[in-house]
Amino acid sequence: MNKEVELQDLGLKDYKETWDYQEALFKAIVDTKIRNRRENAQLTTANHFLFVEHPHVYTLGKSGNRANLLVGEEELATKGAKFYKINRGGDITYHGPGQIVGYPILDLENFFTDIHKYLRLLEEMVILTLAEYGLKAERSKGETGVWLDVGTPFARKICAMGVRASRWVTMHGFALNVNADLGYFDLMIPCGIKDKAVTSLNVELGKQEVDLNEVKEKLLKHFEVLFEAEIIEQEKTSA
């Protein structure tokens, strides 16, 4: 089992270009697994972890409701935002500058074959990271992602998650609001969940800006421990 995970930081990159890149990495892993099965081979499957920031974009999961995006194409254009219907789970999500988006593209057979556990460990990675900033983050029953003040009238989401998995290979992932412009969340019903707020790490800490690279380092530290993985860092690339 290959526990090495190749890390790439793509910087600020268009959503569709990144999605296509994810699909290529995903397909390469799946193709290797198919070949192993057909030819009784023992080729090693790769694991990847992509960090990226996207220009303003709204994405709708395969089970999502388009009505949860509250504006039309023209208003999106005036906001400099795009919209895509995609093949992950979940409903509608916003991505934009100041948000850390992580896409683990893993062969879970290198780790464990349990999608529920996979999602819970991604949440735990974020929860442990936020704890280092003095925030008590939690899961909210029946709602994937990471929240603050769960069970109170002030519950607010700080990290959204949505994944796709096939043949135990994952793609898509999580979006952690660090220095996000929260005004863009007003144009949708986040994840289709009404009457609950969204927040960002800088807002919670009362800071104008939080160091994104510092947050990424903390996320990776916890990822390595939780997944018993070894991060192999590549140079910053434009995929």
Annotated binding residues, as ranges? 88-95, 160-162, 173-175
User: 4: how many CB neighbours lie within 10 A of its CB?
Assistant: 12
DSSP state for residue 147 in the 8-state scheme: E
Name the nearest CA neighbour of 9 among 236, 238, 211.
236
Catalytic residue among 60, 191, 215, 220: 191
Name the nearest CA neighbour of 143 among 130, 126, 162.
162
CA distance 84 to 76: 12
Angle between helical axes of 212-227 and 115-131 (0-180°, round to 10): 140
For residue 191, indicate whether it is catalytic. Answer: yes
CA distance 6 to 3: 10
Q: Where on the phi/psi map is residue 51: left (φ > 0), alpha (ψ -120 to 50), or beta?
A: beta
Residue set of the binding site for substrate: 88-95, 160-162, 173-175
Buried b (16+ CB within 10 A) or exposed e, 17-37: ebbebbeebbeebbebbeeee
CB 171, CB 164: distance < 8 Å: yes
Helices (H), 60-197: 73-78, 115-131
Catalytic residues: 191
